[in-house]
A and B are shown apart, each in its own frame.
Chain A
Amino acid sequence: MISQFFVLSQRGDNIVFRDYRGEVPKGSAEIFFRKVKFWKEDGEGDAPPVFNLDGVNYFHVKVVGLLFVATTRINASPSLVLELLQRIARVIKDYLGVLNEDSLRRNFVLVYELLDEVIDFGYVQTTSTEVLKSYVFNEPIVVDAARLPPLGPASIFVQGSKRMPGTAVTKSVVANEPGGRKREEIFVDIIEKISVTFSSSGYILTSEIDGTIQMKSYLTGNPEIRLALNEDLSIGRGGRSIYDYSSSSGGGTVILDDCNFHESVHLENFDIDRTLVLVPPEGEFPVMNYRMTQEFKPPFRINALIEEAGSLKAEVILKVRAEFASSITANTIMIQMPLPTFTTRVSFELEPGAVGNTTDFKEANKRLEWSLKKIVGGSEHTLRARLTFSQESHGNIVKEAGPVSMTFTIPMYNASRLQVKYLQIAKKSNTYNPYRWVRYVTQANSYVARL
């Protein structure tokens, strides 16, 4: 049971504010914002998503820089409320196409209309975009997506390859195309976030893939869809220890540790032919989430070295090698490394002919940053940095620096080898041939090499 729902901008302004039960004092939005802000200033890191202040429980999630907040006085289920907040953001995005402060402000009447149907007197009624369509009458004012930095999980597809119509995923499910007709299309995105920790000797300490098959449907009339995955896909690793690498290397089969599914998915055939059958509701939703700790080839190898080079000096050498096919290009790569706290100056030396590289030493938090616009598969890149210290290092300099962490995005690549073999849409007529897009992307979640 929720008392209030509100959305705050980064500066703490109310963009939307709905009080459902009138039992939490009016100033709650301000109280909440001040608390969250000071949490950070008090050096305690980010405020946790749930906290209690004077008997009021505040829940919040951050979506595209906005704070979606709910309050209640009762001992509610935290996962329910947090899930709900996330879902409200998704419904709004389905309606507005683009979710950001500007689009929210322009469409706040529509948002209120949605909120009235999503929650009544604090109780959740529905968060299905499709169900809501019959109750909601405002037309969205579509914000020009091109003008704005694209946001949300779909944004990662926007750059590069022409096969991916970036603007389409920022399309509202209700607004019509300029021509007055809706384009029949469906997007299936396989998004994988990978976490790898390399030991100082380059050995893989831990690795995990967290994947989602995300669907966004603009099909009218709810046709049935069949989504076939790898036939040899297996789920669950029996009684074996999850990190037992030796057991998984052979055969090339994809073994998921576990997965879960959206409500609309029928799993009758899944055990037999690995086919997901569903009637997708309109809007964006995850068809399936999965988790895999089976050994996989990490896309990048990182070599990092720090050595003392005379008194008050040291040298850092960072080497990154892309271990995927040359037809694939990773982009927006960022490599960071904390340096000893007594570092005062850093000079960088890139390889001759390096393009799209920027290097920086963040004085405030003593961090080295190296960003690359893109890395083509098979290539190797090196950075040398000379550090100057303000005092002698006492102990082991290796203990004072690192670990090296890396973020990247690799379109059209997935580390798990999970594949959508085909995407079949039940035909309504011979001429019915909607566009289907199946896209893969891999991102770094926590990609770390220790020194």
Chain B
Amino acid sequence: MAPPAPSHRTSSPSQPSGKSEVSDLKSQLRQLAGSRAPGVEDSKRELFKKVISYMTIGIDVSSLFGEMVMCSATSDIVLKKMCYLYVGNYAKVNPDLALLTINFLQRDCKDDDPMIRGLALRSLCSLRVANLVEYLVGPLGSGLKDSNSYVRMVAVTGVLKLYRISASTCTDADFPATLKHLMLNDRDTQVVANCLSALQEILTSEASSLEEASREREALLSKPVVYYLLNRIKEFNEWAQCLILELVSKYVPSDSNEIFDIMNLLEDRLQHANGAVVLATTKVFLHLTLSMTDVHQQVYERIKAPLLTLVSSGSPEQSYAVLSHLHLLVMRAPFVFSADYKYFYCQYNEPSYVKKLKLEMLTAVANESNTYEIVTELCEYVANVDIPIARESIRAVGKIALQQYDVNAIVDRLLQFLEMEKDYVTAEALVLVKDLLRKYPQWSHDCIAVVGSISSKNIQEPKAKAALIWMLGEYSQDMQDAPYILESLVENWDDEPSAEVRLHLLTAVMKCFFKRPPETQKALGAALAVGLADFHQDVHDRALFYYRLLQYNVSVAERVVNPPKQAVSVFADTQSSEVKDRIFDEFNSLSVIYQKPSYMFTDKEHRGPFEFSDELGNLSIGVESADTVVPTQQVEANDNDLLLSTSVEEETRVVSNNGSAYSAPSYEGSIGSLIPQAPLESAVSNPSIPGPAPQSSSPFDDLFGLGLPTASASPITPAAPSPPPLQLKSKAVLDPGTFQQKWRQLPISISQEISVSPQGVAALTSPQVLLRHMQNHSIHSIASGGQAPNFKIFFFAQKQEEPSNFLVECIINTASAKAQVKVKADDQSVSQAFLSLFQSALASFGMP
């Protein structure tokens, strides 16, 4: 309800301070309180309305509490409602006065009229005053048994309200059990729906401390409950249907018949006019069929038309929500949508957040057959009055070119952009031409001719200027004026505000020098001199580095600056496939709109029901070398079949990049996709990375000079506790499904906070580094996720001699250098021994 008057409101001249009005109201209310004159109810209504309206605009009318309560002795339901509204708003700040209302609310809870009983009960539970909870238990208990469904419906939500005020009072009265009974037995669907909401919320919050609650919560996902709700789903209203569908999407059916039964039952929900119902159904379909490649693809085909219809009907806001989900699906399975590309054409009156999504979708669905039309359409947007969209459109054209379709036509178009003489168009096009040349060096002749005619003076944007300078350096042998243009740029060094541009200029002059030494020598000398004097650390360092390198050995310098290059085959994706999979798991939620998994924007207490156990499934599946976790690999392979995964691309890139100066040193395929890629610009300007990468088994660690034992070995750190006699299997196998099941079933045997050494924190640039390390200690990961400073990893290990499992949830916060560890074990007697092993393994992480 409206906040009590904030101070600035009262000072504003347009707002009445309300003081005199309030005292006026007070005396009027007093007069009416005892009156039984005819028409008195009408005057009361008018007064109450005034009070409520003051409350809404933020004037503090809490001083009227006593009078309002006195006046509420009435049988007029409209008056009662206004009074309840008022009381609910101010009880929290006036707990003493709230006590005054208990009496009449309790009396009303026994009224003959079920409406009044319900309303009174709702108000009673909404007081939010902790020391009044004792008065709630009685009325709630009888409310849950009331013969009228309205009262029961209110009572069920009342239980949840009570739980939020005082959890112990709620559980002591055994209300959760009553709710469970009601959920499965009540005739009224809204009572059932409210029971489900309330139970989910209560059990989720209990589950963090109580194993039993956690099991109860899992029971909501059991077959009888899910089937009971599914069979009645059409009796529920559309909102409750969404609730049930969300529950069903977490349900794990035992076989494919069950999956088909559920899908057949829900098929007609896809024709619902309410987008929320359709998306919730879509989620069920997508998640149920994840392991059935063919069917999963059919689901994409099936949901396409309903989603497109939702996008074009309804308000722009609703259509945006649906379009975001369609965007996600297009990104996962572009080819399913490649014939529908015209739906993603932008309309001139659409808001730019819609256009942005559509441009990305157009880029994704481009293939051999539609590229020409898509690019033609995109070129129309380049002349768009909306400049950010015009820029995005050029980038989209460039991305399509990099996808290798019909490059000829596109290069022509890009070069036309350069001739359009609009600053931002030229700037964007330059950046693109640069990327294009890195992938298709064969086009350099055509491009350089056009680029050469562009005057660097007309380019202001740093990215574009850097791109132009890069081309000048890279293709200096083909551009007549290159040394002189660079020279004049060096002369104006001090006028260049962007460090990025100055870095590029240094490198370009170096490159040019090795190609055309006599013409560039002067420029190089000048560049190194100003570079060394530069106030920017990176610029200074690079100039110094070049200077020393030249001093040391000119031919080595040439190999570093101008190594033979291979064309880039695929550029890195900005988002890892892991993150994408998590967003997909959180289909039909804000994660899709924000394009971020929920842990990045919600605090733990506000994650939805099942989020916790859910997370386990969401975390992308293990990344360890293929030979150890066979089932895991299978799951991944499945994913690839499903057209969905991006990791294939990523790996291709890594492989083909070996030895190229364009990228970070190569890594082996299995981990390549996980290493955070250096952004393009810096990769271009970082030829300083030494030649071929070390080919050891843990190159990443080596890169940091943190050579680690590669075979499974016992910890060697002296600081760590000595290893107990427990032996772990070095090649343990556990599939994610079993893990998840076990995690649900087993109780937590140890929960402990462990400190992480500063070295460990420093080495923990991504979870994968740690995963490899732990594997060397025979502790395997099954899922991992997170971003600095928070990482979450699920590990498992098995005893050497018998198939007894240890499951670990490990949440590392690098900011506080702490790890929260929860251990579950088949054999609880050795879990302490296991924890010691785990602890010592973790302690040795990051140690030389």
Partner of A75, one of B320, B386, B388, B607: B607
Q: Is the CB of A258 within 8 A of B349?
A: no
Choose from A109, A236, A289 the contact partner of B313 (Cβ within 8 Å).
A289
Find out whether the CB atom of A210 lies under 8 angstroms from the CB atom of B313.
yes
How far apart sit A26 and B340, CA to CA, in the bound complex (Å)?
A: 46
Query: Is B239 located at the chain interface by the 8 A CB criterion?
Result: yes
A-chain residues with CB within 8 Å of residue B77 when the two chains form the complex:
137
Tell whether B131 is near chain A: CB-to-CB under 8 Å: no
Whether B791 sits at the interface, judged by CB under 8 Å, is no
* A242 to B340 CA separation, bound complex (whole angstroms): 7
* Interface flag for B160 (CB, 8 Å): yes
Distance in angstroms from B735 CB to nearest chain A CB is 28
Could you tell me if A399 and B309 are in contact, using CB atoms closer than 8 angstroms?
no
B201 CB to closest chain A CB, in angstroms? 8
Q: Given A74, A127, A195, A365, which contacts B347 in the complex, CB threshold below 8 Å?
A: A195
Report if B122 contacts A (CB, 8 A): yes
Do residues B275 and A120 form an inter-chain contact, with CB atoms below 8 A?
Answer: no
The contact string, 1 if C-beta is below 8 Å from chain A, for chain B 365-390, is 00000000000010010010110100
Contact residues in B for A75 (Cβ distance below 8 Å): 586, 589-591, 598, 601-602, 606-608, 611
Pair A44/B586 contact, Cβ less than 8 Å: no
Note all chain A residues with C-beta closer than 8 A to B3. 17, 26-27
Are B85 and A120 within 8 A (Cβ)? no
The reply to whether the CB of B772 lies closer than 8 angstroms to some CB of chain A is no
Q: Residue on A with the closest CB to B345?
A: A206
Residues of B within 8 A of A170 (CB): none
Tell me which residues across on chain B come within 8 A of A57, comparing CB atoms: 590, 601
* A123 lies within 8 A of B194 (CB): yes
Residues on the A chain within 8 Å of B309, using CB = 257-260, 289-291
Chain A residues contacting B339 (CB-CB under 8 Å) are 241-242
Name the residue of chain B whose CB is nearest to the CB of A21: B164
The reply to whether B56 and A395 contact each other, CB–CB distance below 8 Å, is no
Question: Is residue A14 contacting chain B, with contact meaning CB distance below 8 A?
Answer: yes
CB contacts (< 8 Å) of A294 on chain B: these are none
**Interface of chain B, main secondary structure:** helix
| Contact between B420 and A399, CB atoms less than 8 A apart | yes
B16 within 8 Å of A (CB atoms): no
Interface range for B: 35 or more
B95 CB, min distance to chain A CBs, angstroms:
14
Which of B149-157, B685-693, B811-819 touches A?
Answer: B149-157
Q: B70 on the interface (CB 8 Å rule)?
A: no
Neighbouring B residues of A365 by C-beta, 8 Å: 385
A48 vs B324: C-alpha distance when bound (angstroms): 12
Smallest Cβ distance from A392 to chain B, in angstroms? 11
B312, A208: Cβ atoms closer than 8 Å:
yes
* Min distance, Cβ A214 to any Cβ of chain B, angstroms: 11
B516 is an interface residue with CB less than 8 A from chain A = no
Residues of B with C-beta under 8 A to A74: 602, 606-608
- Shortest CB-to-CB span from A375 to chain B, Å, is 21
Cα A22 to Cα B591 in complex, Å, equals 24
Question: Can you list, as one digit per residue, whether each of A50-68 has a CB less than 8 Å from chain B (1) or not (0)?
Answer: 1010010100111000000
Q: Report if A222 contacts B (CB, 8 A).
A: no
Question: Which residues of B sit under 8 angstroms from A44, Cβ to Cβ?
Answer: 352, 388
Q: Is the CB of A79 within 8 A of B602?
A: no
Question: Scoring B residues 1 to 20 as 1 if CB is less than 8 Å from chain A, else 0, what string do you get?
Answer: 11100100000000000000
CB pair B82–A127 under 8 Å, yes or no, is: no
- Whether A83 pairs with B274 at a CB distance below 8 angstroms is yes
Q: How far is the CB of A194 from chain B (nearest CB, A)?
A: 11
Instruction: Write out the residue numbers on chain A whose beta carbons fall within 8 Å of the beta carbon of B128.
Output: 22
Which stretch (A93-101, A301-309, A443-451) binds chain B?
Answer: A443-451
Say yes or no: B588 contacts A79, CB within 8 Å.
yes
Q: Contact at A49–B305, with CB atoms within 8 Å?
A: no
Q: How far is the CA of A262 from the CA of B268 in the complex (A)?
A: 12
A375-424: which have CB < 8 Å to B?
Answer: 394-395, 399-400, 402-403, 405
Interface 1/0s, chain B 235-262, versus A by CB < 8 A? 0011100100010000000000000000
CB of B273 within 8 A of chain A?
A: yes
Given contacts A17-B1, A121-B160, contact A80 B385 (CB under 8 A): no
Known contacts A74-B608, A138-B78, A395-B419; A261/B272 CB under 8 A: yes
Residues in A whose Cβ lies below 8 Å from that of B601: 52, 55, 57, 75
Residues A320-375 near B (CB distance < 8 A): 338, 365
How many residues of chain A have a CB within 8 Å of chain B? 88
Interface flag for B421 (CB, 8 Å):
yes
| A210 and B308 alpha carbons, distance in the complex (Å) | 11
* A13 interface residue (CB < 8 Å to B): yes
Check B317 against A121 for contact (C-beta < 8 Å). Answer: no
Q: How far is the CA of A186 from the CA of B710 in the complex (A)?
A: 79
Does A260 contact B310, Cβ atoms closer than 8 Å?
yes
Q: Choose, from B276-284, B444-452, B616-624, B649-657, the stretch at the interface.
A: B276-284
Which partner residue on chain B sits nearest A87 by CB separation?
B274
B460 within 8 Å of A (CB atoms): no
Q: Which of B242, B273, B377, B591 contacts A261 (CB 8 A)?
A: B273
Which of these, B313, B349, B419, contacts A291 with CB under 8 Å?
B313
CB within 8 Å for A399 and B318 given contacts A52-B590, A75-B589, A78-B324: no
Q: Are B157 and A48 in contact (CB-based, < 8 A)? A: no
Taking a contact as CB atoms closer than 8 A, the residue among A13, A27, A84, A290 that contacts B57 in the complex is A13
A15 contacts across to B, CB distance below 8 A? 56
Q: When chains A and B are docked, how far (Å) is the Cα of A206 from the Cα of B246?
A: 37
B2 touches A135 (CB 8 A): no
B321 contact from A16, A17, A78, A125, Cβ within 8 A: A78
* Nearest B residue (CB) for A241: B339
Residue of A nearest to B318 (CB): A82
| A77-B279, A260-B272 known; A82+B321 contact, CB < 8 A | yes
Which of B349, B386, B602 is within 8 Å of A446, CB to CB? B349
A142 at the interface (CB under 8 A from B): no
CB of A137 within 8 A of CB of B78, answer yes
Q: Is A31 in contact with chain B by the CB < 8 A criterion?
A: no
Asked if B342 lies at the interface with its beta carbon under 8 angstroms from chain A, I say yes
CB-nearest residue of chain A relative to B126?
Answer: A121
Known interface pairs A22-B128, A49-B317, A258-B308; A135-B115 also in contact (CB < 8 Å): yes
Residues of B within 8 A of A48 (CB): 320, 351, 353, 593
Which single member of A73, A124, A243, A338 contacts B603 (CB below 8 Å)? A73
Chain B residues with CB under 8 Å of A50's CB are: 320-321, 590, 593
Residue A250 lies at the interface, judged by CB distance under 8 Å to chain B? no
* Residues of chain A with a CB closer than 8 A to B314's CB: 83, 86, 289
Query: Which residues of A sit under 8 angstroms from B237, Cβ to Cβ?
Result: 126, 128
Task: Assess A338 versus B385: contact at CB under 8 Å? Given A78-B324, A261-B271.
Answer: yes
Q: Beyond A49-B317, A116-B85, A123-B194, is A79–B275 a contact (Cβ under 8 Å)?
A: yes
CB proximity of A396 to chain B, nearest CB, Å: 9
A125 and B2 CA atoms in complex are apart in Å by 22
Q: Find chain A residues with CB under 8 A from B408 CB.
A: none
Residue A260 contacts which of B53, B273, B586 (CB distance < 8 angstroms)?
B273
Q: Does A185 contact B (CB under 8 A)?
A: no
A123 touches B197 (CB 8 A): yes
Q: Per-position contact with B for A101-120: 1 when CB-CB < 8 Å, else 0? A: 00000001100110010001
B residues near A210, Cβ cutoff 8 Å = 312-313
Tell whether, in the assembled complex, residue A45 and residue B317 are in contact, meaning their CB atoms are under 8 Å apart.
no
What would 14 A/B residue contacts be, using CB atoms closer than 8 Å?
A: A49-B316, A60-B317, A75-B590, A82-B320, A86-B317, A113-B81, A137-B77, A206-B345, A258-B305, A260-B313, A263-B274, A400-B383, A446-B347, A446-B348
| Residues of A in contact with B (beta carbons under 8 Å apart) | 1, 13-19, 22, 26-27, 44-46, 48-50, 52, 55, 57, 60-62, 73-80, 82-86, 108-109, 112-113, 116, 120-121, 123-128, 135, 137-138, 195, 197, 205-206, 208, 210, 212, 236, 241-243, 257-263, 286, 288-291, 338, 365, 394-395, 399-400, 402-403, 405, 445-446, 448, 450
| 8 smallest beta-carbon distances between A and B, as pairs | A446-B347, A80-B276, A49-B317, A289-B313, A258-B305, A124-B239, A45-B352, A26-B3
Other A-B pairs beyond A74-B606, A79-B588, 6, CB < 8 Å: A80-B276, A80-B280, A83-B274, A338-B385, A395-B421, A403-B380
